[in-house]
């Protein structure tokens, strides 16, 4: 029985708020989230999950409200913790993490840790909602580690191509917990790429 999952990477967030959990969306982000709503509107989504972070909830909330659905937050779908403070050279840091999945800053997470908890959360959803169509509000790095788990050739260069694509949707199709297909959907160009 096939399960379809639409991962929805959040729209542009307001970096004037440095708090990961409470950071919301910019005015542009609030407008762009409607691209995700429009895309998902005919997908017959049965249930909606999200990272507990505000920017993810706000992005998928617009779609949830059109259906009258609740958003079920799962803590382990949260974004990777970089460190206690803000880092300036994100590209350099991201390259180090993608070249070594066990690299982290003093108070941050490795990509391996991020991948492990996101995959565990996804497997929980796949068991709970087998055969359904699911939408999950997520983040760029968290989602990229999920893609990498099923498609190990997805590395830094692929991640960097989508680093500024917000919102971004990845459609995954599963037979039980076996991933059958991964499709990247760019809502701005309407270009779809099969990743698996």
- The confidence score (pLDDT) of residue 18 equals 82
Across the range 80-99, mean pLDDT stands at 87
- The confidence score (pLDDT) of residue 155 equals 96
pLDDT tens digits along 168-190: 999 999 999 999 999 999 898 86
Q: Contact 53/73 with Cβ under 8 angstroms?
A: no
Annotated domain spans of the chain: 2-194
pLDDT tens digits along 42-56: 999 999 999 999 999
> Of 56, 83, 60, 40, nearest to 139 (Cα)?
56
- The confidence score (pLDDT) of residue 195 equals 67
Q: Which distant-in-sequence residues (6+ apart) come within 8 Å of 98 by Cβ? A: 111, 155, 156, 159
CA dihedral 12, 15, 19, 24 (to 10 degrees): -40
Structure tokens at 168: 């971004």
Given a cut of 70, whether residue 91 has pLDDT beyond it is yes
Superfamily of domain 2-194: Phosphoglycerate mutase-like (3.40.50.1240)
């Amino acid at each position: 029985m096939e399960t379809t999952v639409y991962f929805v990477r959040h729209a542009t967030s307001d970096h004037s708020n440095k708090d990961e959990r409470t950071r919301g969306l910019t005015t542009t982000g609030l407008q762009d989230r409607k691209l995700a709503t429009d895309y998902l509107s005919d997908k017959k989504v049965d249930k909606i999950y999200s990272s507990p972070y505000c920017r993810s909830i706000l992005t998928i909330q617009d779609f949830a409200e059109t259906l009258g659905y609740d958003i079920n937050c799962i803590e382990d779908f949260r974004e990777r913790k970089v460190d206690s403070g803000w880092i300036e050279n994100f590209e350099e840091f991201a390259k180090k993490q993608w070249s070594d999945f066990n690299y982290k800053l003093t108070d941050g997470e490795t990509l391996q840790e991020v991948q492990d908890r996101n995959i565990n959360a996804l497997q929980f959803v796949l068991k709970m909602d087998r055969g359904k169509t699911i939408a999950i509000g997520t983040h760029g790095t968290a989602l990229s580690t999920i893609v990498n788990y099923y498609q190990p050739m997805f590395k830094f260069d692929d991640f960097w191509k989508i680093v500024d694509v917000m919102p971004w949707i990845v459609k995954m199709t599963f037979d039980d917990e076996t991933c059958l297909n991964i499709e990247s959907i760019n809502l701005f160009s309407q270009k779809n790429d099969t990743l698996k």
